[in-house]
Amino acid sequence: MTAEPYRVMTVCTGNICRSPMAEVVLRDRLEAAGLGDRVVVDSTGVSDEEHGNPVDPRARRVLAAHGYPTGEGHRARQVTPEDLADHDLVLPMTAQHARRLRRLVTGAGDGGRPGATAEIRMYRSFDPAAPVVERDVDEHLLDVDDPWYGDQDGFETTLAEVEAAADGVVAHVRARLEARV
């Protein structure tokens, strides 16, 4: 009998820059850690404004320049309450995204469904160099920079922030998988 895969979802605004970049990096790191066959990673956005669009070309260029797959075939989609119920770990890129996701879980607006099971944790909370945040009100200190309005350098910054937290996410997922046994 094959165990259910551990499911991770990264979340940003439109699902064309930050969250697909994090999805690609996490898949790469999980594969390198020997967990690729036990973990499923995908991504969504809190908005439907980019629905159906591919990964931003600037994000694809940065991923390729650093040796990652470029997210070909990705199409942006909006997170649903069902996504939160179907994932083990949900990683918002900003405090605003985290608030929206928590509202979906509790059913307070956005058509949410009480009882969803996903652990919602700020992506950068896994970066050992990031500030330690103990209260939700301070979560904005962990926001991953939004490269959308800037130039190519902004995508480099975003990738660096994503990479800095990726090994911490992998360690967390490994611990969760070991606890299942």
Q: Indicate if 12 belongs to the active site.
A: yes
Q: Which two tokens stand for residue 131?
A: 């500030």
Tally of CB atoms within 10 A around 178: 8
Among 18, 27, 29, 60, the one annotated catalytic: 18
Paired residues of 7 in beta bridges: 40
Token pair 């995204």: residue: 97
Q: Which two tokens stand for residue 164?
A: 């800095």
Q: Indicate if 7 belongs to the active site.
A: no
Q: Indicate if 102 belongs to the active site.
A: no
Report how far residue 80's alpha carbon sits from residue 147's, in angstroms, rounded to the nearest whole number: 24
Angstrom distances, CA of residue 69 to CA of 24, 79, 152, 179: 7, 23, 18, 31
Among 86, 110, 146, 167, the one annotated catalytic: 146
Q: Minimal CA–CA distance to 91: which of 161, 181, 175?
A: 161
Task: Indicate which residues carry an active-site annotation.
Answer: 12, 18, 146
